[in-house]
Amino acid sequence: MPPTGLGLVPKPLRLHLRRGRFTFDATTAIRSTPGTGPAALLLRTLLAPATGLPLPLADDGQVVLALDPGLAGLGAQGYGLTVSEEAVLLRAAGPDGLLHGVQTLRQLLPAAALSTAPAHDIPWSIPCLETTDVPRFAWRGAMLDVARHFQPVAFLRRFTDLLALHKLNVLHLHLTDDQGWRMPVGAYPRLTEVGGVPHGGAYTREELTGLVAYAADRGVTVVPEIEMPGHVRAALAAYPHLGNFPDRRLDVWDRHGVCDTVLGVHDEALDFCRAVLGEVMEIFPSPYIHVGGDECPTDEWHSSPSALRRVAEQGLAGPEELRRWLMDRVGTYLTEHGRRPLGWTESGDDLPKSFTVMAWREAEHGLAAAREGHPVIMTPHRSTYLDYPASTHSDEPPGQPGFTVDLPTVHATDPAPDHWDPADAAHVLGTQAQLWTEYVPTAAHAEYLLFPRLCALADTAWSGGRDWDGFRARLDHHKTRLDALGVPSRPSTIHLPERNTR
C-alpha cells in the first residue's frame, strides 16, 4: 500500500519507499533514450518555471527515461519508476506510460514545483522509492461544455494540464448546443457568426488543432462532440432550412432546459451532418467522435411533412424512430471513415450497435448497454455531473438544481461494480466527469466546481477508489499542489453570476 504521506493522486498500484532522497539541482541532466523525447521535453517544460533548472539532455544524465518492451504487461499506460539517491529511472512500454510517470515525478517534488512563479531556497528532492503503476480503466476523462459558456483556448490548455496532472487522459469538448456553436465549419460560416456570438465567441481552426497537439504532448486525447439531432437550436438559427420548417426564423436559445427544436431528417440535413463531421475529423484525430443523441423531442417530426415522408420511405413505425435512424446514418458515416461513433444513451438499448455509449441517466443503463454488446463509458449524473453543487452550504455557488454531488459520492462511484457479471464489466472502458455550464460563466467558477471532486474521480478511474480514508489523507496533502496551481478553493475567490430564476 502506498504511504499516504506522499499524497499521490491517483494512488499508485504498488509503491515501496526506501531510505534517502534524490535531489534535482543545477547539475542534474536527463538521459533520453530512443523514443522518449516527448516525455523528456514535458518534464523539462513543466519543471522549468518554478525550479529554474535547465535539466539538459546528456548521455550520462542521472534521470533516465526508457521505453522497455519488457514492461508490455503494464499496457500502454502503465509505467515503472525507481528512485535512488544517485539516479531516477522511469520506464514504460509505451510513450503514454512515460508521460504518466512524469506526472508522478511532479507530485513527488515539493508542491511549489507546480507553480508558474520561480521558487527559491527549496530543495527539489524526491524520496527514494520503487513503484509499478497501471490504471484500472483505459478511459479516464472530463467533459467541458463550452457551448453554453465559451471558454478561451488558454483555459482549455490549463484544464488539459490539470487533467494530465491527475492522469486523466480524455478531454471531451462539448462544442455545440442550443445556446451556442463554437467550432468553425468552412461550408457553413454562419454557424459561428450566429451561434458563436452568445456567451463569448468561437474557436478558430488553428486554435483547435493547436489544442489537440498540446493535449497529445501530455497524453490527453481531445474528443469532440457535435450534438444532433436535438440540442441544435444554434445551428438552426444560422441555417433554418436544416430544420423541419424552413420558413421559421429562430434565435439562438437563451434559456436552460431542453429546446423542442430539432434537426430535420431530409437530404440537406444529412449533407450538413456529413460536412460538419468531415471537418471535425480533419481537426480532431481522436478515434472517437461524439454525436450527442440525447434529449431529442419528436414533436416537430410528428408535424413535419418531410419527416413524415422519411418515416414512410424507410418503413418506420413512427417519428419516434427517426432519432435512431439518423444516428445510424451518422454512425455509419463515421465508421466508414475509420472512427468510432460515441453517443449518450438514455436507456442502454437506444443507439445503433456501432456506437460506444455514455450512460448518463442511470448506472443500470450502462449495464443494459454492456449486455447489448456496446463499449460503455460510465457517466451517471448523480455521481459524475460536477455542475451539481458539492454541498448544501449557503455559500455554495449556483448550480444545476435537483441533486448534490459531494466528494464521497464521486469517490464511491464504481464504473464496473462487483455485482456485474465479469463479461458485462469487460465492456466498460472507463468513466469521466461532466461540467455543463448553464450556471458556469467563468474559468475560475469552473475550476472551483471541478476540484477537488475531479481528484476523487481520477482516483476511482485509476486505482479503483475503494479506500476513502486513504484518499482523504492523500487529498489533504494534494490540496497544497492545487493551491500552488492557483485552483480556487473557496466561493469568495471566484466571480459568481446572478442566480438564474428561469
pLDDT tens digit string along 395-448? 888 889 889 999 999 999 999 999 999 999 999 999 999 999 999 999 999 999
pLDDT at res. 4:
42
What is the 8-class DSSP label of residue 260?
A: S
State yes or no: pLDDT of 372 exceeds 60: yes
Question: Which single residue is written with the C-alpha cell 513543466?
Answer: 46
Q: Average of pLDDT values for 189-211?
A: 96
What is the percentage of the chain residues whose pLDDT exceeds 90? Answer: 92
pLDDT at res. 1:
38
177 catalytically annotated: yes
State yes or no: pLDDT of 89 exceeds 90: yes
State yes or no: pLDDT of 499 exceeds 60: no
Cα angle, residue 285 at apex, residues 280 and 286 outer, rounded to 5°: 95
Task: With cut-offs at 50, 70 and 90, classify the pLDDT of residue 2.
Answer: very low
Catalytic residue among 100, 166, 199, 231: 231
Measured between alpha carbons, how far is 417 from 424 in angstroms, rounded to an integer?
A: 10
Domain range list for the chain: 4-133, 139-473
- Topology alike, domains 4-133 and 139-473: no
pLDDT at res. 494:
66
Q: What's the CATH code, domain 4-133?
A: 3.30.379.10
State yes or no: pLDDT of 5 exceeds 80: no
Q: Name which residue leads in pLDDT, 222 or 466.
A: 222
290 catalytically annotated: no
Q: Average of pLDDT values for 13-30?
A: 97
State yes or no: pLDDT of 490 exceeds 90: no
State yes or no: pLDDT of 380 exceeds 50: yes
Question: Which single residue is written with the C-alpha cell 474557436?
Answer: 203
Q: What is the mean pLDDT of the chain?
A: 95
Sign of CA dihedral 444, 449, 452, 454: negative
- For residue 305, whether the previous peptide bond is cis, meaning omega lies within 30 degrees of 0, is no
Give how far the C-alpha of residue 282 lies from the chain's centroid of Cα atoms, to the nearest Å.
20
Q: What fold characterizes domain 139-473?
A: TIM Barrel (3.20.20)
- Helix spans in 315-392 (H): 322-336, 363-371, 381-384
Nearest alpha carbon to residue 289 among 297, 278, 302: 278
pLDDT at res. 265:
98
State yes or no: pLDDT of 3 exceeds 70: no
pLDDT at res. 360:
98
> Count of CB atoms within 10 A of residue 502's CB?
6
Q: Average of pLDDT values for 60-75?
A: 97
Catalytic residue among 68, 207, 295, 467: 295
What does the radius of gyration of the chain's CA atoms come to, in whole angstroms? 24
Q: Average of pLDDT values for 321-341?
A: 98
Catalytic residue among 96, 145, 177, 372: 177
Measured between alpha carbons, how far is 152 from 427 in angstroms, rounded to an integer?
A: 35
pTM above 0.85, yes or no: yes
State yes or no: pLDDT of 500 exceeds 50: no
pLDDT at res. 492:
60
Q: Average of pLDDT values for 263-277?
A: 98
Q: Name which residue leads in pLDDT, 55 or 489.
A: 55
What DSSP line would sit under 413-482, residue for residue? Answer: --SS-TTS-HHHHTTEEEEEEEE--TT--SHHHHHHHHTTHHHHHHHHHHH-S--HHHHHHHHHHHHHHH
pLDDT tens digit string along 93-102? 999 999 999 9
pLDDT tens digit string along 116-136? 999 999 999 999 999 999 999
pLDDT at res. 395:
87
- Beta pairing partners, 125: 23
